[in-house]
């Protein structure tokens, strides 16, 4: 965003003091400019401070691969990677992502291919309705970043912030372990049909 930031405030704009103490009607609230990289492309936008990152992704950028499942930060359906770490994008403001790198489920797999994690979810039947799946996949990638070879229990712990109302989790655990193996041994994966 352009203000208040490390850059000098633009000429004639308000100081922190004026901005915050001058009464203003809600529709007159300031629209900071943000710059974010999402799935490899850079975007610059003026946003209302109250705009949630998930709404920015879905409504402004059309990245509807990231769903909203709750209002309480519990379900994890909206999980994306922010500078490489999993976050619940319903619990981050778009302005907080200014300058950051965001990866959504739509950023996985290049040129029409699927990511090993997506493939494993498919092959292990780790989804039914699929609502939780984007969040599950992003949280699983975060887990493997720190622990490339998790046990069943470690997968369950790593995904404790992601709720699934359909699968009973068994196949999700299997899928994550399969993806972990495939990602550790990519060559071996290629010869498996």
Partner 1 sequence: MIPAAFDYARPRSVDEAVRALADAGEDAKVLAGGQSLMPLLRLRLAIPDALIDLGRIAALREIRDDGDAVVIGSMATHHQVIRDPLVRAHLPLIARTTETVADPAVRHRGTFGGSLAHADPAGDLPAVALALDAVLLVRSPRGEREIPAAEFFVDWMTSALEPDELLVGVRVPKLGPGWGVHYEKFHRTAQAWAIVGVACAVRRDGDSVAEARVALTNMGPAPVRAGAVEDAVRGRPISDDSFRSAGGHAADGTEPPSDLHGSSEYRSHLATVLTARALAAAAAA
Q: Name the residue nearer to ligand FAD (CB basis): 2 or 74.
A: 74
The crossing angle, in degrees rounded to 10, of helices 170-184 and 133-146 is 50
Q: Nearest Cα to 142, choosing from 181, 170, 180, 113?
A: 180
Q: Which residue has the tokens 């550790």?
A: 184
Cα–Cα distance, 105 to 87 (Å, whole number)? 13
Residue 131 makes CB contacts below 8 A (sequence gap 6+) with 67, 69, 77, 165
Indicate which of ligand FAD, partner 1, ligand FES, none lies near residue 77 (CB less than 5 to 8 Å, by partner kind).
ligand FES
Indicate which of ligand FAD, ligand FES, partner 1, none lies near residue 180 (CB less than 5 to 8 Å, by partner kind).
none
> Do 45 and 60 touch, CB atoms closer than 8 A?
yes
Q: Name the residue nearer to ligand FES (CB basis): 56 or 131.
A: 131
Indicate which of partner 1, ligand FES, ligand FAD, none lies near residue 7 (CB less than 5 to 8 Å, by partner kind).
none
* Min CB(74)–ligand FAD separation in Å: 5
> Do 32 and 1 touch, CB atoms closer than 8 A?
yes
3-state secondary structure of 9: coil
Verify binding: residue 131, ligand FES, rule CB under 6 A: yes
> Do 135 and 153 touch, CB atoms closer than 8 A?
no
State the residues that interact with partner 1 by CB under 8 A: 1, 4-6, 16-17, 19-21, 24, 26-27, 29-30, 32, 48-50, 52, 55, 71-74, 76, 79, 82, 85-88, 90-93, 95-96, 139, 142-143, 156-158, 160-162
Instruction: Kindly identify the residues of this chain, within the stretch 72-111, that bind ligand FAD according to CB under 6 A.
Output: 73-74
Instruction: Kindly identify the residues of this chain, within the stretch 58-77, that bind ligand FAD according to CB under 6 A.
Output: 73-74
Total chain residues near ligand FAD (CB under 6 A): 2
């Amino acid at each position: 965003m352009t203000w208040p930031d490390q850059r000098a405030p633009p000429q004639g704009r308000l100081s922190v003091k004026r901005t915050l103490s001058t009464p203003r009607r809600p529709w007159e609230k300031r629209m900071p400019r943000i710059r974010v990289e999402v799935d490899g492309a850079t975007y610059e936008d003026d946003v209302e401070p109250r705009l949630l990152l998930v709404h920015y992704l879905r409504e402004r950028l059309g990245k509807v691969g990231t769903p909203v499942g709750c209002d309480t930060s519990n379900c994890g359906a909206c999980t994306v990677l922010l500078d490489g770490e999993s976050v619940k994008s319903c619990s981050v403001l778009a302005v907080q992502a200014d300058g950051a790198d965001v990866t959504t489920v739509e950023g996985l797999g290049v040129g029409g291919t699927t990511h090993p994690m997506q493939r494993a979810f498919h092959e292990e039947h780790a989804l039914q309705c699929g609502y939780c799946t984007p969040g599950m996949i992003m949280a699983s990638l975060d887990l493997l970043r720190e622990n490339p070879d998790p046990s069943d229990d470690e997968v369950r712990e790593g995904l404790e912030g992601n709720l699934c109302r359909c699968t009973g989790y068994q196949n999700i655990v299997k899928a994550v372990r399969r993806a972990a193996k495939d990602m550790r041994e990519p060559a071996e994966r290629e010869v498996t049909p």
